[in-house]
Structure 1
Amino acid sequence: MRMQLLPRAETAVRKGHPWVFAESVKSQNREGSAGELVVMYDRRDRFLAVGLYDPDSPIRVRVVHAGSPAVIDRDWWLGRARDAATRREEVFNAKTNGARCINGESEGFPGLVADRYADTLVVKLYSAVWLERWAEIESVLREVFGPRYLVLRVSRNLADATAEHGLVPGFQGDQGDEVVVFSENGIRFEAAVVHGQKTGFFLDQRDNRARVEQLAEGREVLNLFSFSGGFSLYAARGGATRVVDVDISAHALESARRNFALNPDLDPTIHEGIQADVFEWVGQSGASYDLVISDPPSLAKRERDREKAIVAYRRLNGVALARVRQGGILVAASCSAHVSADEFFGAVRSEAKRSGRRCEELWTSRHADDHPASFPEAEYLKAICLKCAD
């Protein structure tokens, strides 16, 4: 298929943006099917880029290559996958066998992520462009990453299209365990690879969990929105004297208890789980802690939610700061792509200033190495660490 874009979209693609929205299409020579290759030309009829067509999505084309013409075939995908594997040579080691292997658009696989948990590779599709070429992509991923088991997962909006293509989510080929135990920096976790959130675990916070470990010695720790206890296990290994998880999900709290049990070197008696709505609980609790971690789910699912989300981040971290003891630390994180790092950091800093407490900023962080972000919409993760002197 041949396509021309409006000038603004043409400029964006030249600068490396991987999305072409439907309203940015100036003309196309015919209708196409999901996953079909689209060759885009500039206003002077010169090659601009090639992408995957998605007729039912506002993101009409997902760019895979721009600049000079190229042949997009199995060898092309194989090269991209090998590049991704090479970038992770220092991520996987004797103590870590769980990490992201491919991070979507930022590594040339738009709408696709692949996470490895021990000998299981979990591939999640967020776009219908991959359904027609799944057999080809599966063979590439098996060749490059060599998993014993491979799980296919799809976003909810793709359920019907997946069935129409004769694909059945779940294990492809040999059947492995639906809950896989893997290691991250020497700590063992379980990942629900078939039915758990995302691909089974939140791998993106690995580096921030390690930072928390370095802060935890001798401290009582409060982990808000704790999910399966990732930050809590690191804090326990770092020498925390008490760790309290708060999450609305009983299932998540039970998973955290199982994760503690997977690590016999950690003392489970210092760990407590509280099932509650975090927003309500943290405002009502009078208890204080030496280290408070606030890592809520995304508070801005859409652009129109951005302003409300910023207000919510201010309110949440304001009450979280109130739970921090003198000399204590707040680690606040956001995974809302529609809220920029500057907006999030500004919200937390403004609450610290409003509290009247003297707070020292120890660090800010962004994406881990296995979660590269090559364009603004991909830059969702950010965290900030404040130490309260009084």
Structure 2
Amino acid sequence: MKVRIKAGRERKLLGRYPFGHAGDILDADAGISAGDVVDVHAEGGAFIGRGYFNAEGATPLRMLTLEREDIGEAFYRRRLRAALARREGRITGTDALRVSHAEADGLPGIIADKFGSVLSVQLRNAGVERHRDLILRALREETGATAAFERSDTGERRKEGLDLRAGVLWGDLPDKVTFHEDDLELFFRPLEAQKTGFFLDQRDNRRLMRRLVPEGGTFLDAYSYTGGFSLHAARAGAKAVAVDKDPVALGTLEAVARANGLDRHTGVRLGDAIEVLTQLEREGRTFDAVVLDPPTLAKRKDDVPRAKRVFTDGTARALRMLKPGGHLLISTCAHYIRVDDLLDAARVAASEADASAEVLDVTYQPADHPWLLAVPESLYLKSILLRKD
């Protein structure tokens, strides 16, 4: 089966950009089923490569290779071995890491996180769904995971015309998936947690904020989820307050804190983060360090202005409660929100809070969430670190 690309549009694909959008497609052979592997050709007939094709998908073409190679189990195993080799020696102090970061590892639609000996898997598009058995065998063999569960219950699958799926894939899945990050023993319930179970991409930022919060200080973790930032701050000797609207996540935080002997150093507030921050400000609370890490907020470019207002509102409240010399980390996991957008929102917030601050650092996602030069969309996690004057 063959798909042809409009003249001039092939350049980006030959430059290793993995997405062929609807406007790039000239025509496609009749009879292609959703998720079929197709040969991709330029308008003049020259071979470009091979990829998954789904005419009804939000992104019809997802490139796999620029070679005439078979897309079978051996292909997926080679790509997974390359992904693991890329991470070798770069992720330390933990037994949890992302082993496949979709297009950034040459594996479109495959997200896999390993927690100890347990693998969490998302299959996000029609192509990987068609090759489900091949991919799962490759993941099992190359990662050595003794148990695995699936959390293919994201909106991306609906855009591909696929049903949502979640459940045990293989092995004896424990009720609690346990792993460690530095000197913390962490866990979550795999079929109750959000996404793949735990946000591994904030690992470096958690360590950063742990170093900055003083022993005996106070720490505010807004949009905390299961409180990774809070637990690190508590281990450093601070008193942490975690704020989230998910009662299950906060319940997990409290259980993990007890298991680590940190329950006296962690407290939770259930509710909308902006509303809770407003209440904390009314109570006269102050903090030595604050993290503001909301969910995606901007899934389209049109969402960015509204998202910036949320960041401004949260940052203004955080700055008013932040002690002089205190640190504030503002983070976004939205591709469409740029570092400059975070800085703009923080600048407006500082004015509203009548505060001044220094930008100390800009951080990005860790090495097990690769950011490829040819794939701008692979950069998504951006954070700015401020110190209040």
* Partner Cα distance (1:379, 1:110) in 2: 15
SS for the counterpart of 2:260 is coil
Matched residue, 2:52:
52
Q: Does 1:275 align with 2:270?
A: yes
Q: CA deviation at 1:28?
A: 1.6
- Whole-angstrom distance in 2 between the partners of 1:156 and 1:353: 38
Matches within 5 A, 1:1-390: 1-66=1-66, 68-91=67-90, 95-156=93-154, 158=157, 169-218=166-215, 219-240=217-238, 242-264=239-261, 267-286=262-281, 287-352=285-350, 355-374=353-372, 375-389=375-389
Cα distance 1:353–1:8, how it changes in 2: closer, same or farther (>3 A)? farther
Q: Secondary structure at the match of 1:208?
A: helix
**Structure 1 residue matching 2:68: 3-state secondary structure:** coil
Tell me the alpha carbon deviations over residues 188-208 of structure 1, each in whole angstroms, 9 at most, x when there is no partner. 111232231111111110010
Deviations 1:195-248 (A, max 9, x none): 3111111111001001011101232111111111100111122232x1111112
Q: Distance in 2 between matches of 1:301 and 1:355?
A: 28
TM-aligned CA deviation for residue 336 of structure 1: 1.5
Structure 1 residue 355 displacement after superposition? 4.1
- Deviations, residues 335-364 of structure 1 (Å, cap 9, x unaligned): 122212222233224433564433122211
* SS of corresponding position for 2:45: coil
Checking the alignment, whether the CA contact within 8 Å between 1:216 and 1:236 is kept in structure 2 is no
One-letter identity of the residue aligned with 2:75: W
Paired with 2:16 and 2:110, the residues of 1 have a C-alpha distance of 18
Alignment CA distance shift 1:168-1:338 (3 Å): closer
Deviation at 1:156, TM superposition (A): 4.5
* Offset at residue 24 of structure 1 (A): 1.8
Q: Which residue type is aligned with residue 197 of structure 2?
A: G
DSSP 3-state at the match of 2:243: strand
Distance change in 2, residues 1:376/1:353 (3 Å)? farther
How far the C-alpha of 1:252 sits from its partner, in A, is 1.7
Root-mean-square deviation (CA, aligned residues, Å) is 2.1
CA distance in structure 1 between the partners assigned to 2:18 and 2:205 by the alignment: 28
Give the superposition deviation at 1:305: 1.1
Q: Per-residue CA shift, 1:83-115, capped at 9, x if unaligned?
A: 11112222555x411111100111011111000
- Say if 1:202 and 1:148 are closer, same or farther in 2 by CA, change over 3 A: same
1:281 to 1:343, Cα distance in 2 relative to 1, 3 A: same
> Hey, what's the Cα distance between the residues in 1 that align with 2:48 and 2:340?
32
* Gaps in structure 2 of 5+ consecutive residues: none
1:255-275 CA distances to partner (integer Å, 9 max, x unpaired)? 1111112223xx321211111
Moved more, 112-121 or 334-343: 334-343
Rounded to whole Å, the distance in 2 between the matches of 1:364 and 1:333 is 10
Greater Cα shift, 353-362 or 278-287: 353-362
Task: Count the aligned residue pairs.
Answer: 381
Q: Which AA in structure 2 matches 1:71?
A: D
Contact conserved, 1:334 with 1:382, CA < 8 A, in 2?
Answer: yes
TM-score of the aligned structures, taking structure 2 as reference length: 0.92
The letter for the 1-side match of 2:185 is R
Specify the code of the residue in structure 2 equivalent to 1:204: D
| Percent of paired sites with the same residue | 29
Secondary structure of 2:342's aligned partner: helix
The TM-score with structure 1 as length reference comes to 0.91
Whole-angstrom CA distance in 1 between matches of 2:153 and 2:132: 15
Distance 2:259 2:376 in 1: 38
Residue 380 of structure 1: how far off its partner (Å):
1.5
Query: SS state of the match for residue 221, structure 1?
Result: strand
Query: SS state of the match for residue 170, structure 2?
Result: coil
Secondary structure at the aligned position of 1:131 is classed as helix
Q: Which runs of 5+ in 1 are unaligned?
A: none
Alpha-carbon distance in structure 2 between the residues aligned to 1:284 and 1:325: 17
